[in-house]
Chain A
């Protein structure tokens, strides 16, 4: 089995988000970067579990980004990937990213391409689906479980109001969410081993982006909480009904 895991670099969850250049650029001067949690905890770990069960499996990890993305690729290798690929391009929009990944994926003839449900920076949730369309492959979004038997997979997915079990044969693209695997921490052996694993840099193709971010805005500050005492529940319900009109 040959697996590709697409990962992205996102600001650490607790990072304060601020903007510069007249609110047109994120100010990343003090941002701590992590692997997007959906990519790391769910898809990457699941890919590594497959390799642990069947050592003939090859796991490649890919990201689109500049040299600043190398640390997340090294961490992914420390968790157990075999080889990392960085497409040397600033990530623009979902289409350009998916297009770059598609070029590498096509050449690599992968059986499974893992993506996360969405990235926690732009929350687009669309790279996996676009990639699947460009490769003309099935796409299984919101996947919480993946069982493999040879080239046949059974995938459990969240759907609105419940879940669904699907059968699909490789190759396919899967978008993983919570439930797929458990978070792991790389061990010393993994970290040492990652240093000697290959990290390939591939030049991008020129693709035009279909969308551009014009500006950012921060949410309006809240007025502050209005507190009620225990015993005043009926007053609160009255305000929610009459003033806020949400009941």
Chain B
């Protein structure tokens, strides 16, 4: 019996959410009275032994393994074999594209129950029950996993990370990765951008910005806050901003610590993607805009005046 965290990475760096993943997995193992370890496939620039500070003392690394979600069939088979050999019964994935592909596949392979985007540690009094957001954030559900082996993925920004000065022992392993049936032709990463899934602050613009030429004031604020950029659906539909920035029920679902919405009305379909943000700030010149009902803080006024002043205030703080 033990817990295994699967570390996700790309472009030579582990994902920022890894700290949360490892801290969560360590706390879960502690609650279950069992051991915890982590697995990383491929190489990264980060010093893996430093990750011990999040409470995981042993990390298995296969430096020869490829690691891409397009290879999810091969990755699943390899991880399943590893998990079985090591007698692991709880596998934890971070939020992101792995939890969309490898995690559910692995659950099917291991005949294990899977719950995606868990919020917080499971309740263990009466089995293993995990809380997750459902109905696009309009409600939560407690899912009980009925199988001996369990697979979960955890929602970003949902678990508080504490660190110590411990280090981890990194052990080389060699997984048996079969050839992928999918060939990757090209990978195009937008440089210098904070992916929405990793951003703890997100600045978002809507139709109130009037046009793509006005986005600099949104970008300036995001830059000062080291924030990710997002937009409402009509903004990406009109081609003002790229599709990957569109948040909402039919776009990305995010749960940052701070979500700043400028010139967005707050239609229910937009809220569906952002309502789990910890703090919501809304800037809109219409005091009746529905978004104010979901917001924690608001400024009624013109985005063209307010955004530059917010940026200045942030810069003063730094």
A interface, CB within 8 angstroms of B: 11, 13-14, 17, 19, 37-38, 41, 93-95, 98, 117, 120-127, 129-130, 132-134, 136-142, 144, 154, 157-169, 172, 175, 178-179, 208-219, 222-223, 225-234, 236-241, 244, 246-247
Cβ of B262 to closest chain A Cβ, rounded Å = 12
Cβ of A25 to closest chain B Cβ, rounded Å = 11
Chain B residues closer than 8 Å to A13, beta-carbon distance: 136, 249, 268-269, 272
User: Are the CB atoms of A95 and B187 closer together than 8 Å?
Assistant: no
Cβ of B246 to closest chain A Cβ, rounded Å = 7
User: Are the CB atoms of B73 and A140 closer together than 8 Å?
Assistant: no
Contact of B301 among A11, A213, A230 (CB under 8 A): A230
Contact of B142 among A215, A234, A241 (CB under 8 A): A215
User: Are the CB atoms of A133 and B193 closer together than 8 Å?
Assistant: no
User: Are the CB atoms of A237 and B313 closer together than 8 Å?
Assistant: yes
Tell whether B204 is near chain A: CB-to-CB under 8 Å.
Answer: no
Known: A138-B73, A166-B182, A169-B181. A236 touches B104 (CB 8 A): no
Chain A residues closer than 8 Å to B250, beta-carbon distance: 37-38, 41, 178
Between A and B, 11 residue pairs with Cβ closer than 8 Å are A14-B268, A37-B250, A93-B113, A123-B116, A126-B103, A139-B72, A159-B187, A178-B251, A211-B113, A225-B293, A232-B299
Tell whether B279 is near chain A: CB-to-CB under 8 Å.
Answer: yes
| Complex Cα gap A8–B158 (Å) | 29
User: Are the CB atoms of B297 and A141 closer together than 8 Å?
Assistant: no
In the complex, per-residue mask of B74-106: 1 if CB is within 8 Å of any chain A CB, else 0: 001000000000000000000011011111111
Size class of the B contact interface (CB-based, 8 Å): 35 or more
User: Are the CB atoms of B97 and A160 closer together than 8 Å?
Assistant: yes
User: Are the CB atoms of A216 and B310 closer together than 8 Å?
Assistant: no
Chain A residues closer than 8 Å to B212, beta-carbon distance: none
Contact of A140 among B70, B143, B200, B306 (CB under 8 A): B70
Contact of B193 among A139, A154, A161 (CB under 8 A): A161
Chain B residues closer than 8 Å to A159, beta-carbon distance: 10, 69, 97, 187, 189
Chain B residues closer than 8 Å to A157, beta-carbon distance: 70
Count CB-based A-B contacts (< 8 Å): 287
Chain B residues closer than 8 Å to A37, beta-carbon distance: 249-250
User: Are the CB atoms of B183 and A213 closer together than 8 Å?
Assistant: no
User: Are the CB atoms of A122 and B141 closer together than 8 Å?
Assistant: yes
User: Are the CB atoms of A133 and B109 closer together than 8 Å?
Assistant: yes
User: Are the CB atoms of B299 and A129 closer together than 8 Å?
Assistant: no
| Complex Cα gap A153–B285 (Å) | 47
User: Are the CB atoms of B114 and A133 closer together than 8 Å?
Assistant: no
| Complex Cα gap A134–B110 (Å) | 11
| Complex Cα gap A157–B184 (Å) | 11
Cβ of A88 to closest chain B Cβ, rounded Å = 23
User: Are the CB atoms of A178 and B243 closer together than 8 Å?
Assistant: yes
Chain B residues closer than 8 Å to A234, beta-carbon distance: 309, 313, 316
User: Are the CB atoms of B249 and A237 closer together than 8 Å?
Assistant: no
Cβ of B32 to closest chain A Cβ, rounded Å = 18
Known: A139-B73, A165-B185, A247-B314. A225 touches B292 (CB 8 A): yes
| Complex Cα gap A225–B132 (Å) | 25
Top 9 closest A-B pairs, CB basis? A230-B301, A126-B104, A210-B113, A129-B104, A162-B189, A133-B108, A161-B195, A237-B313, A133-B105
| Complex Cα gap A136–B76 (Å) | 11
User: Are the CB atoms of A179 and B249 closer together than 8 Å?
Assistant: no
Tell whether B201 is near chain A: CB-to-CB under 8 Å.
Answer: yes
Q: Among B41-49, B54-62, B144-152, B161-169, which stretch is in contact with chain A? A: B144-152
User: Are the CB atoms of B134 and A121 closer together than 8 Å?
Assistant: yes
| Complex Cα gap A37–B272 (Å) | 13
User: Are the CB atoms of B310 and A217 closer together than 8 Å?
Assistant: no
| Complex Cα gap A78–B135 (Å) | 27
User: Are the CB atoms of A237 and B314 closer together than 8 Å?
Assistant: yes
User: Are the CB atoms of B244 and A158 closer together than 8 Å?
Assistant: yes
Contact of A161 among B100, B190, B301, B312 (CB under 8 A): B190
In the complex, per-residue mask of B212-229: 1 if CB is within 8 Å of any chain A CB, else 0: 000000000000010000
Cβ of B92 to closest chain A Cβ, rounded Å = 15
User: Are the CB atoms of B297 and A228 closer together than 8 Å?
Assistant: yes
Cβ of B306 to closest chain A Cβ, rounded Å = 6
User: Are the CB atoms of A212 and B146 closer together than 8 Å?
Assistant: yes
User: Are the CB atoms of B134 and A123 closer together than 8 Å?
Assistant: yes
